[in-house]
Structure 1
């Protein structure tokens, strides 16, 4: 098959591409690289006017005329190369808004893709109308909206999420759902809101390239190393404030037993290197299932604090703390779980082994690629 993957989040489409190629398919990936993370892409569209004087000009033009010159620039780059995006058996969008530009421009791009290729599919693996609406209506026990409801994030700061509830994004959502041949979710946080939708094809777990991310058990010599990587734009949304408060208490409680590594807004390649020496990784709080960073760390045998709610345990027939630790929005609980690991270091090795085995079994990039092929057909 000839496949076009449109957009990128957290290296998901890159790993899927590697799995599909390993199965003998031809794959092209077009994306913006996912901001500062800098993921590779066969066709890289470059967001412009996002820093310095040009950003001030962009903001001014948008306020005065509703004109987004970054969106227009990305649309122009796409249309200049549109012949590269025609004649595919399957096109998959990473999101309803795969390039993160104004809905009217996304519609134009998606129309080109729909009209010049055989099948069009949508992947639900990030904020979109359905998942945001579900969380906004408090149907989850907790969600990325929890810090917003708690007043930790202003409406302006939370705009990248709230925008999906605006009329223009609802229209984009309707347009995409009308035109796609099917919708796939990458984990339970996106699966649950989609259950019952006529075009929903089901959950296919995130693909992890287990050939690139080798299992590296780390002996605990002097100190247990804990890694906490922060994406400043998602600080409260990921629950980083809970992690930082817990780490401060852990540092005081076990000064001679732990070493804490903290980073902020670093490219993917550097991020991976930074956490290689860690035994424990703190990923995110407000989730029922693991995100991509958590899964990659689990493949390497790290003990990860992330989403591992009852729904996740039931879905994969797992026990609590078997492959990762459920990170709750509760500082006391986080300290309790971290303390348990520090005082029982043999559990770090055990959970790390289990984590690696789980990724090999449930997230292997070639097996997942096969599942996508079945869904697309």
Structure 2
């Protein structure tokens, strides 16, 4: 099969591509690389002109005055110029509803062309979208990525990216995609739960992780426990990072001579995945039920990851609490207590480390996951 993957925000599509190629298929990824993260893509459509001075200055000024990113115009024409080679694919898959990361008025006309000149199209629920954001706003969940906003509406500006999916243009984009794709696939439980019962939903396929590329790092006993926190500053509140920061203050005071804390901010992907190699514990995110991509790759390396590991996830994978990952709740003292438990019981760190790697190999193997995608595409095309 010839497969076109549109967008890359986490490395999901890159790992899927690697699995599909191993299974004998031809795969092309088109995307921007997701700003500072710089994920690999085959067809780079990122802005070149408006990412360098003096045009970058005017880009920021126009955005400040109008809330519109003028670089989207450049990206639109870069994609339009590629349309002649974006045809003849058996499957087109979008990473999420805003795969090209541009206003629907620009995005929909491009998708019309792409869908028309290829056989079948699929949509991932992977990140914010119309269904998940409305679910988080209206449901009485114990928490979600919108919890800080619901508790304090003054934070609205921090959630503009998420809340845009509730506006009329993005509702129109959502409707167009649901009418012109074969179905939607969830990448983890955070997106599966809002989609349950939806007629367009094709089911959950876990994130693919290429464990052939990610080496397990044996955590040798050490006097100092190394704790890593990699911050993506635009998502600081949305991911609940403040609870990690507050917990680390508690831990540093309590175990100053036993703990080393490493913090980084806004690193490109390749630097980020190397920056926590020596860590025993990785702090990922709070407001989640399941693991996102960064957490899964850290678990593949054998790190003890504080992330989404809720009861729904435990039941889905038939696991016991604190055996594969640590469920991070929006309570600083709770997180500090869990860190204390690990610091005082280093054998538990080694146990979870091995379990985490085994879990990734069993449930997230990139070749097995790629075959599951092929099975769904074949069944519904």
With the length of structure 1 as denominator, give the TM-score of the two structures: 0.97
Aligned ranges for residues 1-377 of structure 1 at < 5 Å? 1-48=1-48, 49=50, 53-58=54-59, 61=62, 68-151=69-152, 154-377=155-378
Q: CA deviation at 1:153?
A: 6.2
What whole-Å deviation, never above 9, does each CA across 1:152-189 have from its counterpart, x for those lacking one?
A: 86222211111110111111100111100111000000
Distance 2:9 2:164 in 1: 18
Distance 1:263 1:65 in 2: 31
Instruction: Please provide the CA RMSD for this pair.
Output: 1.6
**Shift in CA distance, 328/153, structure 1 to aligned 2, threshold 3 Å:** farther
1-structure distance, mates of 2:128, 2:289: 14
**Which consecutive unaligned segments of at least 5 residues does structure 2 have?**
none
Q: Report if aligned partners of 1:147, 1:153 keep a CA contact under 8 Å in 2.
A: no
Contact map agreement 1:68 1:102 (CA 8 A) in 2:
no
The C-alpha deviation readout for 1:310-354, integer Å capped at 9, x for no partner, is 000000000001100000000111011000000000000000100
Change (3 A) 1:337 1:111: same
> Quick one: distance in 1 between partners of 2:366 and 2:153?
37
Secondary structure, aligned partner of 2:239: coil
Q: Is the 8 A contact 2:91 2:118 kept in 1?
A: yes
Aligned-pair CA distance for 1:276: 0.3
- TM-superposed CA distance for 1:58, in Å, is 3.5
1:348, 1:213 → 2: CA distance? 19
Provide runs of 4+ in structure 1 moved above 4 Å. Answer: 50-53, 59-68
Displacement of 1:219: 0.7
CA contact (8 A) 1:121 1:182 kept: yes
**What stretches of structure 1 of length at least 5 have no aligned partner?**
none
Q: CA deviation at 1:82?
A: 1.1
Deviation at 1:138, TM superposition (A): 3.4
1:374 deviation in Å? 0.3
Q: CA deviation at 1:61?
A: 4.8
